[in-house]
Structure 1
Amino acid sequence: MPSTPRVCVIAPEPLLTIEIETDPVRDAPEVHVHPGGQGLWVATMARSLGAEVVVCGAFGGETGEIAAHLARTRELEVRPTRRGGGGALVRDRRHGDDPHHVVMPSVPLDRHALDDLYGTSLVAALEADVCVLTGTQHGVGLPQDYLTRLARDVAASGTPVVADLSGGLAAAIDRATLSVLKMSHEEMVDDDLADADSVPALRAAAGRWVADGLDAFVVSRADEPTLLVTADGTAALTTPPVSTVDHRGAGDSMTAGVAVGVGRGLPVVDAVRLGAAAGALNVARHGLGTGSRAEIESFAERVTVDDLG
């Protein structure tokens, strides 16, 4: 497998994100404009880790066109569907830890847009070394069986599939089509997949998915050790402690690191070590899905792995 893998990220709901902060030097408003949403944050971190990245998503309307342009300035290849999408998120962070949000929901994808996105995504995924499936948050209206079909078709052609999904989108997917599924412990409890957020409960829940054919289940647990559950057992991966600047985007950065590791052909535990390092270092920075490849790879060497049996 290549040291510079090609990663295909399926981003059904890309967003234009606008952050308003206070410039401490001038004591004046400071505006930052970025491509955002789960898929684009995953893609940005994968590019930071040296992968070639293609993003397939709905980039309709003015905001979609701007988000696509900004993504290209970050050296992401964008293959857009121009109908639907176009969501935006404005976050005013000038007034403490409780920022004011304005969300413009994405335009739902109609039948034609869904067909266009499917064809574009399938072709791009088959050209890649690994495909990453991401979900939606603001009502883009993705049918639950949509990613299920895509995962099945991509996996059937031999491209590994990494998914960062929860809820109905995750539940609908055939476990055997996924190389890795990443989910947070909060999502597992909220979706009634696990009875509690304790290690035994999370292990048991993830183990059921593995028994159904999933290769590896990764459970992110905020500042607690990440769990990796496979048919061979469970491991706990611990990163060195890092002071948090912004916790947002840690999970997406972890997914990107795992996907890049899978694309490089690393053993799954080493792919998850890379993902854990990417997630941990991302919280120490301003800017979601950002980081230095050299720093992340060095930090990954300090991630400890404990065999839980």
Structure 2
Amino acid sequence: MSEHVMVFAPVPQLTLTIEQQDDTPDIHLHPGGQGIWQARMITCLGVPATICAALGGETGTVLEQLIAAEGMQLRLVGRQASSGWYIHDRRDGKRQEIADVPGAQLSRHELDELYGLALAEGFRASVSILSGPPHPSVVPPEVYRRLATDLTSNGNRVVADLSGDHLAAVLAGGVCFLKVSHEELIRDGRASDDSIDELVGALHRLHDEGGETVMISRAGDPALALLDGEVFEVRMPRLQAADPRGAGDSMTAGVSAVLARGGDLHEAICTGAAAGALNVTRHGLGTGRAQAIRELIKRVRLNPLGSATKSA
């Protein structure tokens, strides 16, 4: 296995953002979606990322070129339907969604081709990230369960940042590191509220279901992590946010980059926390300079909660 990360990003979206430059509107085109943002941050940290995706139509042609331009390797399956896209208007400083098209569900043949591609790349990589589709209907959860099972049972390390049925699916297959937000846990009924006791209980339940190490992000509050049976509060530096979106994806990417080059989980969690903290200071999702992240790592603290106990 080589020191790179396979990112299963099944259906990326073409993102169009309208911004205001003085008196003139400006438009920015980028590849988007959870897996793209994760791969972008991994690349920023100096670790090669290989994206496994299905692309089609005119938007797919543009996406292919944009992904290559960012220095991320793309392993591609062609699809009959056009790839998804979204348009955001940020001219007044706030992000307003104009349209969002996740794309059609992948066909059985497309899923078979993409599965084989991701499995082969996952076997070659140090770490594999299973990232979610823009809408749950586009890729069935069963694909994630099978990938997690086949990669994990063959000695490969799987990282996931998912919710809903897709989260349950990867847990059934087993993952070495799971990141999930507290909002998603509450929405999915895995936690009744955002209290520390309730979230600590959720950490242990997620571990029992198949997450070897589990981390819960909590927006502006310190994240919680279950590592080797002990619960830690992850204290990150407080920075002024330009755009809070994408912090969790950068966190997952930072963890994966460190694991891919042989680092331990303490270092991985601190790096993920630093990457997530820096990302909110920027408008570009999954972006940040490696030197700035290295400086922020020095300010991350893992504080044992000590008295936290497993809930029923």
Other structure's SS at 1:260 match: helix
Which piece of structure 1 moves more, 230-239 or 281-290?
A: 230-239
CA distance in 2, matches of 1:297, 1:98: 29
CA distance in 1, matches of 2:137, 2:50: 21
CA distance in 2, matches of 1:176, 1:108: 23
Q: In the alignment, which residue of structure 2 is the partner of 1:207?
A: 204
CA distance in 2, matches of 1:192, 1:140: 20
Do the aligned partners of residues 140 and 77 (structure 1) sit closer, same or farther apart at CA in structure 2, a change above 3 Å counting?
farther
1:68 to 64, 68, 79: 64
Q: Write the deviation string for residues 139-172 of structure 1: whole angstroms up to 9, x where unpaired.
A: 5521121110001111122211000100000112
Q: Does 1:77 align with 2:73?
A: yes
2:279 to 278, 282, 288: 282
Contact kept, 8 Å, 1:13 with 1:85, in 2: the verdict is no
Do the aligned partners of residues 269 and 101 (structure 1) sit closer, same or farther apart at CA in structure 2, a change above 3 Å counting?
farther
Q: In the alignment, which residue of structure 1 is the partner of 2:37?
A: 41
Other structure's SS at 2:216 match: strand
Contact kept, 8 Å, 2:13 with 2:102, in 1: the verdict is no
Deviation at 1:137, TM superposition (A): 2.4
CA distance in 1, matches of 2:82, 2:161: 20
Q: In the alignment, which residue of structure 1 is the partner of 2:46?
A: 50
Unaligned 5+ segments in structure 2 are 307-312
Which piece of structure 1 moves more, 250-259 or 136-145?
A: 136-145
Other structure's SS at 2:125 match: coil
Contact kept, 8 Å, 2:147 with 2:173, in 1: the verdict is no
Q: In the alignment, which residue of structure 2 is the partner of 1:102?
A: 99
Which piece of structure 1 moves more, 254-263 or 226-235?
A: 226-235
Deviation at 1:231, TM superposition (A): 4.1
Which letter does structure 2 place at the counterpart of 1:68?
Answer: E
Q: Write the deviation string for residues 51-90 of structure 1: whole angstroms up to 9, x where unpaired.
A: 1110001111111121121011111010111114600011
Q: Write the deviation string for residues 270-307 of structure 1: whole angstroms up to 9, x where unpaired.
A: 21110110011011012111111111122112101101
Give the alignment of 1:110-189 within 5 angstroms: 110-138=107-135, 140-175=137-172, 177-189=174-186
CA distance in 2, matches of 1:185, 1:7: 26
Deviation at 1:109, TM superposition (A): 0.3
How many residue pairs align between the two structures?
305
Q: Does 1:31 align with 2:50?
A: no
CA distance in 2, matches of 1:32, 1:235: 39
Q: In the alignment, which residue of structure 2 is the partner of 1:268?
A: 265
Q: In the alignment, which residue of structure 1 is the partner of 2:310?
A: none
CA distance in 1, matches of 2:51, 2:58: 18
Contact kept, 8 Å, 1:89 with 1:103, in 2: the verdict is yes
Contact kept, 8 Å, 1:85 with 1:109, in 2: the verdict is no
Other structure's SS at 1:288 match: coil
CA distance in 1, matches of 2:173, 2:210: 4
Q: Give the TM-score normalised by structure 1.
A: 0.95
Q: Give the TM-score normalised by structure 2.
A: 0.94
CA distance in 1, matches of 2:262, 2:195: 31
Do the aligned partners of residues 139 and 157 (structure 1) sit closer, same or farther apart at CA in structure 2, a change above 3 Å counting?
closer
Deviation at 1:249, TM superposition (A): 1.0
Contact kept, 8 Å, 1:122 with 1:150, in 2: the verdict is yes
Q: In the alignment, which residue of structure 2 is the partner of 1:20?
A: 18
Other structure's SS at 2:283 match: coil
Deviation at 1:98, TM superposition (A): 5.0
Which letter does structure 2 place at the counterpart of 1:202?
Answer: L
Q: In the alignment, which residue of structure 2 is the partner of 1:240?
A: 237
What percent of counterpart residues are identical?
Answer: 41
Deviation at 1:203, TM superposition (A): 0.7
Deviation at 1:176, TM superposition (A): 6.2
Deviation at 1:123, TM superposition (A): 0.4
CA distance in 1, matches of 2:211, 2:171: 8
CA distance in 2, matches of 1:207, 1:199: 12
Unaligned 5+ segments in structure 1 are none
Which letter does structure 2 place at the counterpart of 1:212?
Answer: E
Contact kept, 8 Å, 2:145 with 2:172, in 1: the verdict is no
CA distance in 2, matches of 1:139, 1:242: 32
Other structure's SS at 2:141 match: coil
Which letter does structure 2 place at the counterpart of 1:60?
Answer: G
